[in-house]
Structure 1
Amino acid sequence: MNSFSTSMDLVEFIGKLGDLKDEHYHMTLAFSAMIELMIDKGLISRQELERKTAELDQLMTTGSTYPMA
């Protein structure tokens, strides 16, 4: 059985997916700009960011929970 009852439902779904992609792009762009500004202002270093990113990636790929201080 098809999960979309009509062709119009499929068109609406595809439109919503396109909107999500645009929203994701703009959020990623804003996030990247904030990171670059923090690095430029000396609030964090690229090395600190890379270390924390690797740490969080490892936690996510192993299914571990984030340690709370």
Structure 2
Amino acid sequence: MNSHRSAMDEVRMAAKLADLKDEHYRNTLALSTLIELLVDKGIVTREEVERKAAELDSFMAHLPYPKV
């Protein structure tokens, strides 16, 4: 098996990365839009969103992952 990537493999990889970046942007835009609408309608405050984000971030930072 050839361990070297061909130029076409590199192009495909770059295209996949571009697709992922575009999808990430669309997802981030959708989430930001939802948060803004919830805040604008008075359903949640920015502080509540920030507090919950910090809570979830803290939880995710302490998940026990198996050591390799």
Unaligned runs of 5+ in 1: 65-69
Question: What does 1:1-69 correspond to in 2, within 5 Å?
Answer: 1-2=3-4, 4=5, 6-63=6-63
Q: Distance in 2 between matches of 1:27 and 1:50?
A: 18
State the SS of the aligned residue for 2:44.
coil
Structure 1 residue runs of 4 or more that deviate by more than 2 Å after TM superposition: none
Q: 2:17 corresponds to which letter in structure 1?
A: L
Equivalenced residues, count: 62
What is the TM-score with the length of structure 1 in the denominator?
0.80
Identity %: 52
TM superposition shift of 1:23 = 1.1
Unaligned runs of 5+ in 2: none
Q: 1:27 corresponds to which letter in structure 2?
A: N
